[in-house]
Amino acid sequence: MAYKVHKLNNGIRVVHIPSSSIVCYCGLIINTGSRDEYEDEHGMAHFIEHTIFKGTAKRRALHILNRMDEVGGELNAYTTKEETTIHASFLARDFERAIELITDMVFGSVFPEKELEKEKIVIADEIASYKDTPSESIFDEFEEQLFASPALGHNILGSVESLATFDKEKIQRFMKRCYNTDQMVFSVLGDIREDKVLRMAEKYLGSIAPNIRNFERSISKEEFVVSHRREDKDTYQGHVLLGGEAPGIYGEEKFHMSVLNNLLGGPCMNSRLSLLLRERNGIGYNVETNYTTFSDTGLFTIYYGTDTSNIERSLRIVNRELERICEVPFTQAQMSKIIRQIKGQLLMTTVNGESQMLSVGRSALFFDMVDDVSEIVERVGVITAMDIINVANKYIKPQCLSSLIYK
């Protein structure tokens, strides 16, 4: 079924996913993230995501934390390059509690100075923790290397230096510019009647004053820079990251790229790179590929850990496999097996209510409509071996990929 997207007068959209599950989920997904920060605001989107938990006009920080906990629910939030999401899980009887709390946090936070200073220390520790974890820090450093534009290149956490400059005035300036009502979706999944969802959305979110976006994001092809770097990190294990440009969320080839990503190093143990590096040659651990879509571009990466003595050999194996996929089409039997596996994975995602709520909300945010999983499965089902060859030659040829290696 296609889910209907309702629009409030201020531009906030509401989407409801019926479910018989005893646990319900809801979230406000906002089309803003670290990408929308000015040069003197690096880390601001993530900082706001933290500090909206620190007090509103009618609640202190402890009251915010306890509001869902005391009925057995959960409250959380996260920031990406382009999105900020505040979400909750709860029983159906507590839906009004959840939507009222999220609305109060996003639109009623007062950002007490004392709490801001405490949170700067917390995030500074988070930054230090990332730097101490090569398997995580390599991704941030790679994106800074890959994107010449600082908008997509700089990391989400920002720096200790930028954090030190943040105050209530800077926070409110960013929120006025980027927390736009026409760029928000409130997504709800659960055993809650649609008329109640819309009534509660109108009651709490509908009273928010309109704030319409007046800027557009853009990135030019020239902002992708192919480069190769090696850094001596004195680690016990070598860390290898390869990657480059990929289709954006509106790209016609995004489903083809998703299939290719799944084939190379997706969530299953039988992915091609995992079998080659880990099972067949015994020189790779935690082999994974990732495909991330942005509103106007995308990023494909290959990551694995290996002993520093095996870095050169592993690169030869990976590059040889990438070239093979670019040149040799899969047989009909191989394609049937690949498509069957991905169809199963897509259908399995519907079991995770929170994941489905967020996915549907994100789709409504970017497309103003939501396709049912069965329709996505149908699109994947018609992908051919030549489609895979074409997208592979466009995006994963070894000479098109940048690299960053820690050793």
**CA–CA gap between residue 381 and residue 339 (Å, rounded):** 6
Q: What is the DSSP letter of 310?
A: G
Three-class DSSP category at 273: helix
Q: What pLDDT, on the 0 to 100 scale, is given for residue 394?
A: 96
Candidates 309, 320, 159; CA nearest to 240 is 309
**CA–CA gap between residue 396 and residue 261 (Å, rounded):** 10
Q: What pLDDT, on the 0 to 100 scale, is given for residue 366?
A: 93
Q: What pLDDT, on the 0 to 100 scale, is given for residue 277?
A: 92
> Percent of the chain having pLDDT more than 90?
76
Q: What pLDDT, on the 0 to 100 scale, is given for residue 269?
A: 66
Q: What does the pLDDT look like over 305-341, one tens digit per residue?
A: 999 999 999 999 999 999 999 999 988 888 888 888 8
Q: What pLDDT, on the 0 to 100 scale, is given for residue 399?
A: 94
Q: What pLDDT, on the 0 to 100 scale, is given for residue 364?
A: 95
Q: How is 347-365 classified by DSSP, letter by letter?
A: HHGGG-HHHHHHHHHHHHH
**CA–CA gap between residue 381 and residue 335 (Å, rounded):** 10
Domains and CATH numbers, the chain: 5-204 (3.30.830.10), 226-406 (3.30.830.10)
Parts of the chain with a pLDDT under 70: 1-2, 218-223, 267-269
93 exposure class (CB count in 10 Å sphere: 0-12, 13-18, 19+): exposed
End-to-end CA distance of the chain: 50
